[in-house]
Amino acid sequence: MPEFIEPVPRPGAQAGKRELTKLQNRQTILEAACRVFAEFGYGATTVRDIIRATPLASGTFYNYFKSKEDVFQAIQDDSALRIRPRLHEERVKAQSIEEFISVTFRTFFEYVASDESNFRAIRRNTDTLRVRMDTPEIIAGFQELREDIEAAIAKGVFPMVDADYLMAAIVGVAFEIAERMLRRDDLDTRAAAQFATALFMGGIGALPQPATGQGCGDS
Amino acid sequence: MPEFIEPVPRPGAQAGKRELTKLQNRQTILEAACRVFAEFGYGATTVRDIIRATPLASGTFYNYFKSKEDVFQAIQDDSALRIRPRLHEERVKAQSIEEFISVTFRTFFEYVASDESNFRAIRRNTDTLRVRMDTPEIIAGFQELREDIEAAIAKGVFPMVDADYLMAAIVGVAFEIAERMLRRDDLDTRAAAQFATALFMGGIGALPQPATGQGCGDS
Amino acid sequence: MPEFIEPVPRPGAQAGKRELTKLQNRQTILEAACRVFAEFGYGATTVRDIIRATPLASGTFYNYFKSKEDVFQAIQDDSALRIRPRLHEERVKAQSIEEFISVTFRTFFEYVASDESNFRAIRRNTDTLRVRMDTPEIIAGFQELREDIEAAIAKGVFPMVDADYLMAAIVGVAFEIAERMLRRDDLDTRAAAQFATALFMGGIGALPQPATGQGCGDS
Amino acid sequence: MPEFIEPVPRPGAQAGKRELTKLQNRQTILEAACRVFAEFGYGATTVRDIIRATPLASGTFYNYFKSKEDVFQAIQDDSALRIRPRLHEERVKAQSIEEFISVTFRTFFEYVASDESNFRAIRRNTDTLRVRMDTPEIIAGFQELREDIEAAIAKGVFPMVDADYLMAAIVGVAFEIAERMLRRDDLDTRAAAQFATALFMGGIGALPQPATGQGCGDS
DNA sequence: GATGAATGAGAATTCATTCAT
DNA sequence: TATGAATGAATTCTCATTCAT
């Protein structure tokens, strides 16, 4: 279960028992929501479900969040907040296309693996329905990726390419492969990153030889 | 508005008035659902909404579908049913990686463009929520892509690669770029296909020079 | 499955194919209803359920019956119609209290055993709910029993007793013991009749020694 | 209107206003249900009917009961809970068959008279439909009667008889006569008990002379 | 007469949200 | 602030019945 980033109390404020309980309740709700979203999917989840997964009273929920959308967004933002700065930071340091791409995938897949339940809440797979919510934070993350690509083009690290489509391609590959990765028995983030990076560096011809038994047989 | 595939009446059978009305009603509901999903998004849509978008009585809905999931799936399957055979057919004819990849993206983007509202119902982007339902038909489509890749490997057209991840990458890029494509003013399926194909053939280094002003500025 | 008494066609009318089908459909519905009532209980049964248990179309039902109440009553009346004349006939011949009582119970229990599913439709026992519908025919049967008692009093066969209460007692014992009888492994109608008769003839002191293992252990 | 047995709050606990309202609401629903069942009969009653007979909101019903079955059972159990201990207690004290039987009927008929509307809700007679729900409590009551009979046999108070059938006979007579009793103008529980007791003690020959005009003429 | 789809009233139930305690 | 029962609008879904074919 991920630990959510806690809103920083105003500096100077003593974190009294009151504050502590407040933060704990917020945590409790976020974690319960994360579990519930991961289990039922976002669409099927109701506020009631979240409350039920909590020792708290229904009224208490509304002291912290306005709706299920609100909690969901908090989870997402939280998630994006943890991963985005890392991604950005690594990318700006990149001296080559390869570094840029490879660090992007590596960081993303590692995050996904380390925070599986959270990722599942965002991108859920039952047999039939996937939901993915792109909160402002996440959208900002996409935007940032695009800007980083544009900056890299400007720096001459990247050739002139359609940054919008490239961003889309990276995002698509990242999410889709992350999902397949989670279905495999061993959580080999390195292999996943290597695959994606090779694809973006040299296309299909440059892809690594597969380890045997990589698929999971189903769709 | 897409025309849904109609269950074929037995050849020679006179389509009585009853049969006809039945087919029309099914159509009516599917089209209404498509519109409503595209407008409100899948999650926010209720069966009532669909019925309201229809001149029919509420009970009539249940003569044709069990739930909103059911209609959604019918739309999806319908969609997959229209595109899958075409994709497969084109791919098996492919004599090279390039043909395989390029025909896949071209066919897909053309389908998306020709059937925009349907695609939007499947893969909708408000600012916040995407739903994608992988119906058996769609899953079978993914599976088929993977099998086609495996067959191409066996034929020596493709090198030995992780077919599962490659399939995931293609799917991710296809859906994600399709979405960006639909946001642009001009529906340039050729350009989108060219971009995706180039990426898979030679990586970022092989991407075409962008036409100017391709982005739409927002996320 | 009981065979329902068929409405006699007007004398002189040729029972053409039309007539035959009509009667068959009526039969079909009655038998289906009987099965369904016995399975789900009267309250939980819907007209739809009855139709579903039939190869006929829903509209057809309404050519024969107005509602589920109507079918139910037809079953009941049918049932009462088969048992009532027999009961009455035997009772009027009775020369003594014992004959009167014994023939009543014997005939009733034999009818119950021979027509179990029909009886179950009338008097159903899941674990929790019993329904018993007293149609006009059945009520007339109770009335007739009372009148037969009164007649027997008038004839001097019976002492002066509260005929209403006596009728109630006979009915209560008959239905309740019939139910227990049906739960036992062996369908010993003779023993049941003997028990009830003995009770009414001489009270508890006159009851027969029980065969071993008579109870069924549950409630 | 019967007063329902209230779940006992922990001793010493101040019944807060909240607790109180809860109990009152439960009462309100039970009483309304009782009235409605008695008026429409169990089968014809809907949850809506019960709610409508209440000043409460529809959702409130479901805070207390799951369904109409559930309320019905609560009424029944409640009823059984009030009568069962009394019956058992009196029976174990019985020193003779006569005491055993007479106290059983007397207690039962007095309860029925004192709690008429409740009894009517349980065992209703329109002209056509009776429902009787044998809740676990009621079934336990039958079981207890049977056990008491068996104990009496063991003690030598009763002769060796088929306890199962005897129980059934007592139950049948009790319910059926109770019903006739309620239809009469005067509620003579003593007479009803006397009749039933005499029947079980000496059979028809031992029945008391009837008061005149006891019947109510109808079925 | 038989058929079975359409109808729409209405039943059961859930749910987000409020608010007195 | 926490609680959790009350609320009643909204939703899902069923059902008896009709009626065009």
Percent of chain B scoring above 70 in pLDDT = 82
**Positions in chain E where some atom is under 7 Å from a protein CB:** 1-21
Confirm if C110 and D190 have CB atoms less than 8 A apart. no
Average pLDDT over residues B172-179: 94
Least confident of A7-21, A169-183, D159-173: A7-21
Per DSSP, the three-state class of A178 is: helix
pLDDT of A12 higher than 60 = no
Average pLDDT over residues C61-81: 89
Instruction: Output the pLDDT for position C145.
Output: 96
Least confident of B29-43, B54-68, B197-211, D187-201: B29-43
Percent of chain A scoring above 90 in pLDDT = 54
| CB contact B102 to A (< 8 Å) | no
Residues 56-75 of C near strand F (Cβ < 7 Å)? 58-59, 61-62, 66-68
Instruction: Output the pLDDT for position C133.
Output: 67
CA distance C192 to chain D (A): 8
Instruction: Indicate if CB(B23) is under 7 A from strand E.
Output: no
Residues with Cβ within 8 Å of residue B87, at least 6 apart in sequence:
B104, B107, B108, B141, B144, B145
CB contact under 8 A, D135 and C143: no
Q: D164: nearest CA in chain C?
A: C215
Instruction: Output the pLDDT for position D94.
Output: 92
* Dist CA A114 CA A187 (whole Å): 10
Burial of B29 (0-12, 13-18, 19+ CB in 10 A): buried
Q: C181: nearest CA in chain D?
A: D165
* Dist CA A38 CA A36 (whole Å): 5
At A77, the pLDDT band (50, 70, 90 cuts) reads: confident
Residue D24 identity? Q
Least confident of A56-70, D18-32, D141-155: D18-32
> DSSP state, C123?
B
CA distance C113 to chain D (A): 16
Instruction: Enter the tokens of residue C65.
Output: 């019956």
At A15, the pLDDT band (50, 70, 90 cuts) reads: very low
Instruction: Enter the tokens of residue A161.
Output: 């390419």
- In 3D, which of A42, A46, A70, A40 has the Cα closest to residue A58? A46
Neighbours of chain B (3+ CB pairs under 8 A): A
pLDDT of B110 higher than 80 = yes
Q: Return phi, psi of residue C176, to 5°.
A: -70, -45
CB contact under 8 A, B203 and A207: no
Q: Which of B43, B129, B168 sits opposite A177 (nearest CB)?
A: B168
User: Nearest nucleotide (C1') to the CA of residue D48?
Assistant: E11
C1' of E18 to CA of A66 (Å): 13
Instruction: Indicate if CB(D52) is under 7 A from strand E.
Output: no
Average pLDDT over residues A185-189: 91
C1' of E21 to CA of D17 (Å): 8
Instruction: Output the pLDDT for position D3.
Output: 52
Instruction: Output the pLDDT for position C77.
Output: 83
CB contact under 8 A, D192 and C165: yes
Express each pLDDT in A120-173 by its tens digit.
766 665 555 666 667 777 788 899 999 999 999 999 999 999 999 999 999 999
C1' of E19 to CA of B61 (Å): 39
Express each pLDDT in C169-186 by its tens digit.
999 999 999 999 998 988
CB contact under 8 A, C143 and D215: no
| CB contact A216 to B (< 8 Å) | yes
Average pLDDT over residues D169-187: 93
Express each pLDDT in D102-131 by its tens digit.
999 999 999 999 887 777 766 655 545 666
CA distance A19 to chain B (A): 31
For helices B97-114 and B68-93, the axis angle rounded to 10 degrees is 150
User: Nearest nucleotide (C1') to the CA of residue B26?
Assistant: E5
At B107, the pLDDT band (50, 70, 90 cuts) reads: very high
E18 closest protein residue (CA to C1'): A59
Instruction: Output the pLDDT for position A9.
Output: 44
> DSSP state, B3?
P
Express each pLDDT in C133-145 by its tens digit.
677 778 888 999 9
Express each pLDDT in D76-96 by its tens digit.
888 888 899 999 999 999 999
Confirm if A203 and B203 have CB atoms less than 8 A apart. yes
Q: Mean pLDDT over all residues of chain A? A: 84
User: Nearest nucleotide (C1') to the CA of residue D62?
Assistant: E13
Q: Which of B171, B179, B210 sits opposite A161 (nearest CB)?
A: B210
Q: Which of D97, D171, D204 sits opposite C200 (nearest CB)?
A: D204
CB-based touch C/B (3+ pairs, under 8 A) = no
For helices B163-183 and B97-114, the axis angle rounded to 10 degrees is 40
Residue that wins the pLDDT comparison between D2 and B90: B90
Residues 118-137 of C near strand E (Cβ < 7 Å)? none
C201: chain D residues, CB-CB within 8 Å:
203-205
Instruction: Indicate if CB(D59) is under 7 A from strand E.
Output: yes
CA distance B17 to chain A (A): 36
Instruction: Enter the tokens of residue D101.
Output: 């039987």
Instruction: Indicate if CB(D47) is under 7 A from strand E.
Output: yes
Q: Mean pLDDT over all residues of chain C? A: 84
User: Nearest nucleotide (C1') to the CA of residue A59?
Assistant: F3
D173: chain C residues, CB-CB within 8 Å:
168-169, 172-173
Instruction: Indicate if CB(C48) is under 7 A from strand F.
Output: yes
Instruction: Output the pLDDT for position C44.
Output: 83
Confirm if B43 and A42 have CB atoms less than 8 A apart. yes
Contacts 24+ apart (CB under 8 A), D215-219: D215/C146, D215/C162, D215/C163, D215/C164, D215/D184, D216/C164, D216/D180, D216/D183, D216/D184, D216/D185, D218/D183, D219/C134, D219/C139, D219/C140, D219/C142, D219/C143, D219/D127
pLDDT of B128 higher than 70 = no
pLDDT of C203 higher than 90 = yes
pLDDT of B94 higher than 50 = yes
- In 3D, which of A71, A107, A69 has the Cα closest to residue A89? A107
Average pLDDT over residues C59-65: 95
pLDDT of B18 higher than 50 = yes
* Dist CA C91 CA C102 (whole Å): 9
| β-pairing verdict for B129-133 and C129-133 | unpaired
At B39, the pLDDT band (50, 70, 90 cuts) reads: confident
**Positions in chain F where some atom is under 7 Å from a protein CB:** 1-21
Express each pLDDT in D12-53 by its tens digit.
444 567 778 888 999 999 999 999 988 888 888 999 999 999
Residues with Cβ within 8 Å of residue B200, at least 6 apart in sequence:
A199, A203, A204, B97, B101, B169, B170, B173
Rg (Cα) of chain C, in Å, rounded? 20
C1' of E6 to CA of B62 (Å): 11
Instruction: Output the pLDDT for position B1.
Output: 47
Instruction: Output the pLDDT for position D212.
Output: 62
Q: Which of A69, A161, A219 sits opposite B204 (nearest CB)?
A: A161
Q: Which of C128, C131, C169 sits opposite D177 (nearest CB)?
A: C169
Residue that wins the pLDDT comparison between C124 and A190: A190
Q: Return phi, psi of residue B133, to 5°.
A: -105, 120
C1' of F11 to CA of A199 (Å): 48
Q: Which of D143, D160, D214 sits opposite C210 (nearest CB)?
A: D160
At B127, the pLDDT band (50, 70, 90 cuts) reads: very low
CB contact under 8 A, B199 and A203: yes
A206: chain B residues, CB-CB within 8 Å:
203
C1' of F4 to CA of A174 (Å): 44
| CB contact C80 to D (< 8 Å) | no
Task: Match 């629903």 to its residue by tokens.
Answer: D29
CB contact under 8 A, D160 and C215: no
Residues 13-42 of C near strand E (Cβ < 7 Å)? 18, 21-22, 25
HSE toward the beta carbon, residue B16, CA cutoff 13 A? 2
At C158, the pLDDT band (50, 70, 90 cuts) reads: very high
Instruction: Output the pLDDT for position B43.
Output: 82
Among B residues 8-67, those touching chain A with beta carbons less than 8 Å apart: 42-43
* Dist CA A215 CA B165 (whole Å): 8
Average pLDDT over residues B21-41: 90
> DSSP state, C141?
H
- In 3D, which of A152, A146, A147, A200 has the Cα closest to residue A173? A200
Percent of chain C scoring above 70 in pLDDT = 80
Residue that wins the pLDDT comparison between B118 and D149: D149
Q: B98: nearest CA in chain A?
A: A204
Contacts 24+ apart (CB under 8 A), C10-17: none
Q: Which of A130, A176, A200 sits opposite B204 (nearest CB)?
A: A200
Interface mutation vs chain B, best among A69, A165, A179, A194, most B CBs within 10 Å? A165
Least confident of B83-97, C10-24, C31-45, C95-109: C10-24
